[in-house]
Amino acid sequence: MSYLRRDPRRRDRARDARDHLRLLRLDHSPVTRTGAVTDLLHLAQHTIETHGLLDAGDGVVVGVSGGPDSLCLLHLLLRLQPAYRLTLHVAHLHHGARGPAADADAEFVAALAAAWHLPVTVERHDVPALACQHKLTFEEAARRVRYAFLAQVAVRVGASRIAVGHNADDQAETVLMHILRGSGLAGLRGMRPLTPLAEYRFLTPLTTETSLSPRADLDLIRPLLDIPRSEIESYCAAQGLEPRFDRSNLDTTYFRNRLRHDLLPLLQSYNPNIHTRLCHTAAVVAADYELLILLYDQAWSDTMIEEQKTAIRFDLDRWRALPVAAQRATLRRAIRRLRQDLRDVDFVHIEDGRHVALTGETGAQAILPRGLVLTVGYEQLTISDTAVVVPPLPADEPLLWNSAPLVVATPGVTLLPDSDWVLQADRVSGWNLPRITDNADPWIAYLDADACTAPFILRSRQPGDRFRPQGMGGHTVKLSAFMTNVKIPHAWRDHIPLLVAHSESGSDILWVCGHRVSETAAVTPDTERVMRMRFVRQPHASAVSSHN
C-alpha cells in the first residue's frame, strides 16, 4: 500500500500499531462472556436480513476509521463472512487533519487489515483545503470526499456494497439535527439501513482523485443502525478489540458534537429514552414516506411536461391543483434534479416559490437559492438557471408583435402589424394532392375550403387553446403540449401566428403557422375546393388588407 511506504517514520508507527493489534482477538470465533455479545451478532444479522442488506457472494467495501463502530462492524462482518460468502475489502480515508493522530489511525487500520488477512485501501485527501476552496464546512466536505472515495474503491474492486458503522445513537442525532434545521419528512426518516448510491447527489467529485462515478447498482448499507453505541463499546471490550479514539469527536465547535454532548443529555433529563423515541420516529416516518413517494411520483408524472439540463417545466393549472404537500415535493425534486442536492434550500424558499406559483401573473418570478429562478409563464411553471440564455426571436419569419386579432381577407391580402409580412389567401384551381403533400415551405398551407368556415382570424395563443394536429388520428391536444413536441422555444410561443376559424360552437385552430395544419382543415382525396394560405415578405407593404 503506497500510503505506508511514503515515510519511514510511518513504518515505525505501523510497527507500533501492529504491537497494539496483538492485544486484539483476531480469530473469528464468537466470545460468549455475556449474553449481550451473542445478542449483538443476532441483532446485526436481523437488520441485515430484514432490510436485505447482503446477498450471498456480495463484495463489500467496509469503511473503517479505527473507532469502535467501524471496528465492531468489520469484526461482525468477518464472523458473518462464511455464511454469506462475502468478499471484504477495507477502506480508510485520511482527511488531512488531526496530524500524527490521523496518521496513526491510518496505520492502525492498515495493520489491522493485514493481521486479519483482508485487502485494504488507504488514501489521503486535504479536506480542510477542499472545504475552504468550495466554501463548505469541514463536516460537509469530509462527508462528500469520504463517500466519493468509498464509491471509487467499490468500483475499483468490483464490490456491490459499501458498509459503514452508523449506529442507533447516530440515527437519533441525525433525526434531531434535521428537526432543528427544519427538515421535511425526508429528513425525519434519518438514515436508512440501505440506500442506493445513485441517491447520494452530494457525491459530485471535489477532486480529480475522486472523479470515478459510482455504479448504478452500488448500495450503502448500515448493519449497526439498530444497535446503541453503548452495546457496540461493550462488544469491543468483550471481544478484546481496542479501538482508536478520535479526540475531535469531543470538539463542540462542530454542530453534531454540540448536539451529542450538550443537547441530547439535556433532553434525556426530560425523557431518558429520547434516543429510542427519535429512532422510532425515524422508522415510522420512513414507512409512511414510502407511500408518499408513490404519490409524489404520480404528481411529478402528471404535471411535469419538459425537463432539460437547465430548466424543468410544469403544466401550471395541473400543478396548482396539486395538494400542498405535492406542490412542495415537486418543487424540491425539480431543484434537486437541477442542482443534484438541496443544500442551502430550506422551507422558506420552497414556500416563497409556491406562493408566487399559486398567485403570480404571467412573468412573476421567485428567486431560489443556487442560482435558480421560478417563473410563472403562459400555462406553464418553470424552474431554471438564472443564466439560461433565451434564444432570440427569428428575424426572417412572420411573427405577431401585437396581441390584437386580425380578420383575414379570404381571398385577399392581410398585413401583419409592425411587420413587412403579409398573408395571402387565394383559391387554388387545378390542384393535385401530391403537389400539396410535397409542399416543403412551412409558411404555405393548403386547406380544405369547404371544411373551414369564415371568418378567419389571425391571432396569438390564448389560455385553454387546443389543437387537432394533422396526422394524430383526430386527437385533440393542448396547444402548449404541441408546441413543446415540435420544440418551439418558450420565448417565441406568444408570437407564433395562429389561423383560427370562428363559429357558433367556438373557435378551431386551422393552422399553427410555420408548423402544421389541423386534421379538420387538411386536404384529402375527397376535397373539392382548396384554399392556399401563404406568408409573403413585402418590404414596402402599407395596406392593412386588400381584396381581389
Residue 501 has pLDDT above 60, yes or no: yes
Residue 542 has pLDDT above 70, yes or no: no
Q: CB-based contacts of 35: which residues, under 8 Å, 6+ apart?
A: none
Mean pLDDT of the chain: 85
Residues 260 and 117 reside in one and the same domain = yes
90 in Cβ contact with 150 (< 8 Å): no
Sign of CA pseudo-dihedral 60, 64, 69, 73: positive
CATH number at 207 reads: 3.40.50.620
Residues 441 and 335 reside in one and the same domain = no
Residue 396 domain flag:
no
Angle formed at CA 260 by CA 104 and CA 168, multiple of 5 degrees = 85
Domains in the chain, number: 3
Binned at pLDDT 50, 70 and 90, residue 58 comes out as very high
Residue 81 domain flag:
yes
Report pLDDT digits (tens) over 365-413.
899 998 899 999 878 899 998 766 556 677 788 998 877 889 999 889 9
Residue 496 has pLDDT above 90, yes or no: yes
Residue 387: how many other CB atoms lie within 10 Å: 8
Domain boundary among 245, 268, 291: 268
Residues 349 and 430 reside in one and the same domain = no
Write phi, then psi, for 481 (nearest 5 degrees). Answer: -65, -40
What is each CA distance from 298 to 168, 189, 311, in whole angstroms?
A: 33, 21, 20
What is each CA distance from 115 to 118, 150, 543, in whole angstroms?
A: 8, 22, 95
Q: Residues 119-135: what's their mean pLDDT? A: 89
Q: For the whole model, what pTM was predicted?
A: 0.64
End-to-end Cα spacing for the chain: 91
What are the grid coordinates assigned to 213, written together? 462515478
What is each CA distance from 116 to 73, 74, 113, in whole angstroms?
A: 14, 10, 5
In angstroms, the CA 224 to CA 70 distance is 9
Residues 157 and 226 reside in one and the same domain = yes
Report pLDDT digits (tens) over 196-228.
876 654 444 444 444 445 555 789 999 999 999
In angstroms, the CA 352 to CA 331 distance is 11
Report pLDDT digits (tens) over 430-440.
777 877 888 88
Residues 464 and 336 reside in one and the same domain = no
For residue 147, which amino acid is it?
A: Y
Beta-bridge partners for 423? 414, 535
Extract long-range pairs of 8-14: CB within 8 Å, 24+ residues apart: 10/103, 10/107, 13/100, 13/103, 13/104, 13/107, 14/107, 14/110, 14/111
User: 384: exposed, middle or buried (C-beta count within 10 Å: 0-12, 13-18, 19+)?
Assistant: buried
Residues 25 and 84 reside in one and the same domain = yes
Angle formed at CA 292 by CA 291 and CA 294, multiple of 5 degrees = 70
Angle between helices 347-359 and 324-339 (to 10 degrees): 110
Residue 393 domain flag:
no
What are the grid coordinates assigned to 24, written together? 486484539
pLDDT, position 314: 96
H helical segments located in 134-209: 138-157, 168-180, 185-188
> Element (H or E) spanning 356, and its range?
helix 347-359
Residues 108 and 232 reside in one and the same domain = yes
Residue 349 domain flag:
yes
Residue 18 has pLDDT above 80, yes or no: no
345 in Cβ contact with 374 (< 8 Å): no
Residue 287 domain flag:
no
Report pLDDT digits (tens) over 66-121.
999 999 999 999 999 999 999 999 999 999 888 899 999 999 999 999 999 999 99
Q: Residues 42-57: what's their mean pLDDT? A: 95
Domain holding 324, by residue range, is 299-385
What are the grid coordinates assigned to 399, written together? 411573427
Q: Residues 505-515: what's their mean pLDDT? A: 89
Domain boundary among 335, 350, 385: 385
In angstroms, the CA 162 to CA 63 distance is 7
Report pLDDT digits (tens) over 446-466.
999 888 887 899 999 988 899
Residues 328 and 452 reside in one and the same domain = no
Residues 91 and 171 reside in one and the same domain = yes
Residues 356 and 505 reside in one and the same domain = no
Residues 229 and 327 reside in one and the same domain = no
Q: Residues 281-307: what's their mean pLDDT? A: 94
**Cα–Cα nearest to 246, from 257, 235, 255:** 257
pLDDT, position 540: 60
CA dihedral 233, 87, 107, 114 (to 10 degrees): 110
Q: Tell me what percent of the residues of the chain surpass a pLDDT of 70.
A: 86
Residue 519: how many other CB atoms lie within 10 Å: 18
Q: Residues 137-161: what's their mean pLDDT? A: 90
CATH number at 366 reads: 3.30.465.60
Sign of CA pseudo-dihedral 9, 10, 14, 20: positive
Residues 135 and 204 reside in one and the same domain = yes
Domain boundary among 385, 415, 436: 385
pLDDT, position 211: 41
Residue 7 has pLDDT above 50, yes or no: no
Residue 395 domain flag:
no
In angstroms, the CA 230 to CA 238 distance is 12
How far does CA 316 lie from the centroid of its chain?
Answer: 21
Higher pLDDT, 252 or 338: 338
162 in Cβ contact with 218 (< 8 Å): yes
In angstroms, the CA 458 to CA 461 distance is 10
Residue 394 domain flag:
no
Higher pLDDT, 123 or 184: 123
Residue 35 has pLDDT above 60, yes or no: no
Residue 285 domain flag:
no
What is each CA distance from 3 to 21, 93, 112, 126, 329, in whole angstroms?
A: 19, 11, 15, 14, 45
pLDDT, position 1: 39
